[in-house]
Structure 1
Amino acid sequence: MSKPVKEMIIREIRAELGSRKDLLMLDVSKMDAIAQNQLRETLRKKGVTLLGVKNSLAKLALKESGIDVSESILSGPTTLVWGSEDIVGLSREMTEWAKKIEKMSIKGGVVDGQGVNSDGVEEISKGPSRLELIGQIAGLLLSPGAKLAGALLGPGGTISGQLTALSEKGEDEAKEGGDAA
């Protein structure tokens, strides 16, 4: 392959990846073409993209994008995978597919520009997604307010009610005294 063609392919890979710093590497070489196409079509509907690449060109494209990938991950046939709402969702999706399809294996991945092995990808798939984390943080932030509201509605609410009754009683007595004069 000539140097201009290689450079063109590297530019194309970089353009496809864009500014992504989260992706996975698969080995789907043992799957037949029909199964690969079915997998691509199913994943495309979920917003996941698969791109078969030549390792040497992928290494150069990823390096130019500032993504660090170990030599062991980019050895043998490699398919780059990206998409989904976050790396956790992508890891879950691909881990499920790897369990369903014996001929497909996860080689590793890149999380925020740093390489992880296949065990790391499986661990990531078990963690909470971005939306789940946001929900947990929101719950933690709202917890003190909920406790305060509960305290005010409980004994604090009783005291507040008694104070309101006393102030109304005082106003009524003041009105009655004012009417008599």
Structure 2
Amino acid sequence: MSKFVKEMVMQDIESRLDGTRDVLVVDSSRMDAISDNGFRQAMQEKNVHLLTVKNSLARKVLGEAGAALGEVLKGPSTLVWGGEDIVALSKEVTKWAKKIEPLQVKGASVEGQPLDTKGVEKLSKSPGRAELISQIAGLILSPGGQLAGALLGPGGKLAGCVKAVEEKAEA
């Protein structure tokens, strides 16, 4: 491959990634065509992008973008990125890897840090962005709810006592 062609391929990879630093790397080379097509269509429906790359060119482009993959880019490699967030992406890809045996998760780059296969597996079991936001919102609102309960408790008892006295006075 000539230098000019390599530059064009690298520019294409860079434009497709569009500054993405969170990338999974899978090996889909041993999959049959029907399974591979089904996998790619399912990923496309979830706004996930796949790109089979030449390792040396991908390593250079991802290195410039700040996504370190270390030794993950060896052998046949397909970059997977997009979706809601990297946790949702890892959950979806590991689910497919369990469903289709020849599909292998090789590793990932999350916020510029490389992960191996086990790291991706752990990442897929962690809570996603929406779950974390709801947990944080619950933690933020919890003290206010406790304070409101503490303030309303004695007030409710007092209102009950006043009502009982009023009913006695009417009777």
Normalised by the length of structure 1, the TM-score is 0.85
Between the aligned residues of both structures, percent identity stands at: 56
* Partners of 1:32 and 1:64 in 2: CA distance: 33
Letter in 2 for 1:56: S
How big is the shift at 1:162? Answer: 6.8
Asked whether the equivalents of residues 21 and 62 of structure 2 are also in contact (C-alpha less than 8 Å), the reply is no
Residue number in structure 1 paired with 2:166:
none
Q: CA deviation at 1:153?
A: 2.0
* Residues 151 and 11 (structure 1), Cα distance of their counterparts in 2 relative to 1, 3 Å cut: same
Structure 2 counterpart of 1:89: 88
1:3-44 Cα distance to aligned partner (Å, 9 max, x none): 010011001101111121111000001012232122111110
**Cα offset, 1:88, TM superposition:** 0.6
In 1, distance between residues paired with 2:6 and 2:160? 79
Tell me how far 1:158 sits from its aligned partner: 2.9
Aligned residues: 165
Cα distance in 2 for residues equivalent to 1:67 and 1:28 = 21
Asked if 1:122 is matched to 2:121, the reply is yes
Report matched runs for 1:19-34 at 5 Å: 19-34=19-34
Give 1:75 shift: 0.4
Name which one, 1 or 2, has greater alpha-carbon Rg. Answer: 1
Provide Cα deviations, 1:134-176, integer angstroms capped at 9, x if missing partner. Answer: 100000000011111111221233347779xxxxxxxxxxxxx
In structure 2, what is the equivalent of residue 36 of structure 1?
A: 36
**What amino acid sits opposite 1:29 in the alignment?**
S
Secondary structure at the counterpart of residue 102 of structure 1: coil
Matched, 1:136 2:135: yes
Tell me, in whole angstroms, the C-alpha distance in 1 between the residues paired with 2:53 and 2:5: 14
Whole-angstrom CA distance in 1 between matches of 2:89 and 2:145: 35
One-letter amino acid matched to 2:31: M
TM-score by length of 2: 0.90
Unaligned runs of 5+ in 2: 163-171
